[in-house]
Homo-oligomer: A and B are copies of this chain.
Amino acid sequence: MPTTTAAQRRSSAKAEYNAFLAGCPSRELLARISDKWVALVLAALAEEGPLRYSALARRIAGVSQKMLTQTLRTLERDGLVTRTVTPTVPVTVDYALTDLSASLQHVMMALKGWAEAHMDDVHESRDSYDAIASEVG
């Protein structure tokens, strides 16, 4: 019988990953989830529950089929969405969040929400920054 519990081993395992380090796998994972399409897909599924491919494409205006498919594939591979094929004619495909992405959805909605909520502040900051830059330059 081990002297450490599963929770202890997991928490020590967590400590092994540090995204500040260049070679750490969590750096690459952070890069993957730091993606606007990932944020929008997870936010859409979080807000509206399971969605079909075409519904996702409509919700996330301006996304190309390639990027939507590519994003969904990597999310599926990483265990962040499930892909359910219903053999109707034509075929129906539903995407949904997983237990794993449940813990991430709040972060993604917060990220999207922040961008929408503070757009005006950022715009103001840019204007004053550009104004100073142009009068100096």
The chain A residues found within 8 Å of chain B, CB to CB, are 10, 13-14, 17-23, 25-27, 29-31, 33-36, 38-40, 43-44, 59-62, 76-80, 100, 103-104, 107, 110-112, 114-126, 129-130
Q: How far is the CB of A125 from chain B (nearest CB, A)?
A: 3
Q: Given known contacts A107-B111, A107-B114, is B30 in contact with A39 (CB within 8 Å)?
A: yes
| B17 touching A116, Cβ below 8 Å | yes
Q: Which residues of chain B are within 8 angstroms of A120 by Cβ–Cβ distance?
A: 10, 13
Tell me how many chains of this kind the complex includes. 2
| B39 touching A124, Cβ below 8 Å | no
| B19 touching A112, Cβ below 8 Å | yes
The chain B residue sitting closest to A19, CB to CB, is: B112
Q: Which residues of chain B are within 8 angstroms of A22 by Cβ–Cβ distance?
A: 61-62
